[in-house]
């Protein structure tokens, strides 16, 4: 008698396991795809913003986008970017930078020079600054760049005269720019003596030229060297 009961109970537990498995399979296979949790960044065509609680992660990005949109539409920003654009076009006559030159912008601030590079068609631009400004500028210490040797074809800075350790700053540019590449620094407008002082910081480069330019409404002297 007890044995019969035991067999009966065993059968019941097998049955319930089978039923729950079937229910789980049903839930997994026949549930409609969730429609409210789609990341809008994954689909550029989706314009609507579903109002649901599972939709929290994109919000900070929207805030950054919004902030950038406001910053990028100011007159000051546009003037800065266009001053860099003319400078880079000017630079193309002095050097061989092309749309495919991997470019490093040191002390990139909010990313004006990075945006200008993109505008003239340079595809691969890395902007670094002590404080990051996504999406144009990442955070890095200019005295200790987080890049391998010789990865860039162009190094650019308008902040060398603000550097804490100019010697170290320049040697990091020379380390990360490959032989044959070009390094461009803009310093406060100056004469030949000062240009020579700046050139002394470059131990692995040869002088290509210097000219006076206007960057972000300041008169500056642009010094161009080639990495050797």
Q: Using CB under 6 A as the criterion, which residues of the chain lie in contact with ligand NAG when the complex forms?
A: 95-96, 99, 121, 182, 208, 226
Residue 98 beta carbon to ligand NAG: minimum distance, rounded to whole angstroms: 6
- Specify the residue, 96 or 162, whose C-beta has the smaller distance to ligand NAG: 96
Do residues 87 and 120 touch, judged by C-beta distance below 8 A?
no
Residue pointed to by tokens 């789980």 = 24
Measuring CA to CA, which residue among 163, 154, 56 is closest to residue 105? Answer: 154
Residue 118 beta carbon to ligand NAG: minimum distance, rounded to whole angstroms: 9
Residue 158 beta carbon to ligand NAG: minimum distance, rounded to whole angstroms: 20
Indicate the SS3 state at residue 69: helix
Residue 224 beta carbon to ligand NAG: minimum distance, rounded to whole angstroms: 8
Indicate the SS3 state at residue 172: helix
- Specify the residue, 163 or 184, whose C-beta has the smaller distance to ligand NAG: 184
- Specify the residue, 82 or 99, whose C-beta has the smaller distance to ligand NAG: 99
Give the count of beta carbons closer than 10 Å to the beta carbon of residue 209.
11
Measuring CA to CA, which residue among 204, 185, 209 is closest to residue 104? Answer: 185
- Specify the residue, 199 or 208, whose C-beta has the smaller distance to ligand NAG: 208
Report the residue number whose CB is nearest to ligand NAG: 121
């Amino acid at each position: 008698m007890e044995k019969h009961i035991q067999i009966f109970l065993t059968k019941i537990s097998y049955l319930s396991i089978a039923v729950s498995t079937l229910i789980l399979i049903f839930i997994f296979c026949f549930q409609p795809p969730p429609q409210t949790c789609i990341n809008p960044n994954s689909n550029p065509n989706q314009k609507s913003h579903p109002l649901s609680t599972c939709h929290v992660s994109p919000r900070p990005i929207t805030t950054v986008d919004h902030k950038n949109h406001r910053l990028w539409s100011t007159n000051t920003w546009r003037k800065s970017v266009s001053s860099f654009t003319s400078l880079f076009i000017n630079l193309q006559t002095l050097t061989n930078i092309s749309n495919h030159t991997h470019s490093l912008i040191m002390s990139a601030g909010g990313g004006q020079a990075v945006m200008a590079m993109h505008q003239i068609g340079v595809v691969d631009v890395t902007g670094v600054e002590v404080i990051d400004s996504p999406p144009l500028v990442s955070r890095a210490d200019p005295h200790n760049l987080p890049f391998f040797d010789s990865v860039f074809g162009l190094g650019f800075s308008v902040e060398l005269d603000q550097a804490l350790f100019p010697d170290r700053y320049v040697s990091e540019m020379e380390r990360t720019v490959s032989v044959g590449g070009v390094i461009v620094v803009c310093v406060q407008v100056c004469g030949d003596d000062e240009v020579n002082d700046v050139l002394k910081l470059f131990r692995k480069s040869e002088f290509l030229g210097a000219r006076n330019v206007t960057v972000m409404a300041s008169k500056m002297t642009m010094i161009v060297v080639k990495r050797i």
